[in-house]
Structure formats: structure tokens, C-alpha cells
A and B are shown apart, each in its own frame.
Chain A
Amino acid sequence: AQSVTQLGSHVSVSEGALVLLRCNYSSSVPPYLFWYVQYPNQGLQLLLKYTSAATLVKGINGFEAEFKKSETSFHLTKPSAHMSDAAEYFCAVSQIGTDKLIFGTGTRLQVFP
């Protein structure tokens, strides 16, 4: 069975600092992994996806994530945080054989000026 674990329910950074949001996965088969973002009072939107092509995946708004099989990780990074990045971020993995995604518990990112 597939699952994802997000370490840290809250992350705070200063504007301009590196953003690192952690996600580890568990899967018996090569996984498809995703990051979603939820801005305040909005639904979720897809930020980026790993579907077994390049291990370094670039998404919208300068975010990227690297798939590391040896570490079973898919951490989300951004070199320089912006105030507008304040949101909740969810890691997700495809449930193989279905059309469903399994979501992590989310990480709330706060950006301070």
C-alpha cells in the first residue's frame, strides 16, 4: 500500500530564505508523487508532479522537488521564499490501480518579512 509522511506540520522562514518541506513515501512499486498547494480560503492546486521521468521536477512559482529513491523522499524546495508562498502544502502519492491520490497531513508554511 502507498502512503506519504510529511515531517513538520508548520514551517516558518524569513522572506528570501530557503524553503524546504519534507515528504517521505512508502510504496511497493515505483510511485507517482505530487505536491499540491492550498492558499488561504481556496481549494488545492497541483504544484508539481513526478511521474518517473526526470528525478528533479520543476513546478510553478519557482518550486522544485527531487525524487530520491534511496531515501524514499520527495522534498519540496524553493531557493528564496516570498510572502506570497505562505500556504499549506500537501504531498500526495497515487494509489496504484485506482484513480485516487493519498494525501499527507500537510505542512503550513509561514513567511516572515
Chain B
Amino acid sequence: DVKVTQSSRYLVKRTGEKVFLECVQDMDHENMFWYRQDPGLGLRLIYFSYDVKMKEKGDIPEGYSVSREKKERFSLILESASTNQTSMYLCASSLRGRTVSTGELFFGEGSRLTVL
């Protein structure tokens, strides 16, 4: 069974803290994504990685960075968390060159982050 695992389902952090959200996939996918999900705004792409050490900014990269040192792992980093980063964060993965024609994005269950 294909699987995308996000390390934490629920996190509570304080303003200014550094936050790491981890995502691991076991499908040998080249592509990995971090989305943010907010009510009324849908899913917005934060960062995309198409290979190890390769990354591309999405629509809302400000305040975030990412790391992809291994193919199976994609980390989202909030250098200094702020209250407006309180949200649901979704990780996804896909095979390179197939997403556009198949729509096959595989999602994790999400990490709900609250910043106080």
C-alpha cells in the first residue's frame, strides 16, 4: 500500500519558534510537495521538489524553507513561526512526468499546526 507519512498530526508552537514538519514517502517518487490548506482558500502550494536537493518555490513560499537530502524525505521548515502560519499542512508525492496526465498525487494525512 502506497504511503505518505507526516511525522506529526498536531503541533502547538509559540511565536518565534523554529518548526520542522517532516514527510516521508515509500513509493520512490521523484516529486514531493508541501501545501497549506486553509478554509475558503483551498490548497496552496508552498514548495515543490522534483529531485534530491532540488526545490522550486510555489505560490506562497514566504516564511518557509524546505530540505530534501534524501529522495524519500521532504522537510518543511518555519524559521520563526508566526500566528498567521497556523494552518493545516499537507505533504504529497508523485512520479515525475505523470502528475499532469494522471493527477496521481498521493497525500499524507496532514499536520495541523497552531502557533500561539
Q: Which residues of A contact B (CB under 8 A)?
A: 6, 9, 32, 34, 36, 41-46, 49, 51, 90, 92, 94-101, 103-106
> Nearest residue in A to B98 (C-beta to C-beta)?
A99
**Are A44 and B101 neighbours in the complex by a CB distance under 8 Å?**
no
B100 adjacent to A94 (CB under 8 Å): yes
Asked whether A106 lies within 8 Å of B101 as measured between CB atoms, the reply is: no
The 8 Å CB contact of B100, one of A32, A41, A46, is A32
Determine whether the beta carbon of B109 is less than 8 Å from that of A49: no
Contact A46 B103 (CB under 8 A): yes
The answer to whether A99 and B50 touch (CB under 8 A), given A43-B4, A43-B90, is yes
Bound Cα distance A45, B41 (Å): 18
A52 to B, closest residue via Cβ: B101
Chain B residues, Cβ within 8 Å of A41: 109-110
Name which residue of chain A comes closest to B45, CB basis. A100
Proximity string of chain B (75-116) to chain A, C-beta cutoff 8 Å, 1 when within and 0 when not: 000000000000000101010111111111101111000000
Contact present for A43 and B99 (CB under 8 Å): no
CB distance from B74 to the nearest CB of A (A): 14
With both beta carbons as reference points, the residue of chain B lying nearest to A108 in the complex is identified as B39
B99 to A105, Cβ gap below 8 A?
Answer: no
A43 touching B109, Cβ below 8 Å = yes
Task: Find out whether the CB atom of B107 lies under 8 angstroms from the CB atom of A105.
Answer: no
Contacts of A90 in B (CB 8 A): 42-43
Which residues of B sit under 8 angstroms from A36, Cβ to Cβ?
A: 105
Instruction: Please pick, from B31, B45, B103, the residue contacting A49 in the complex, using a CB distance under 8 A.
Output: B103
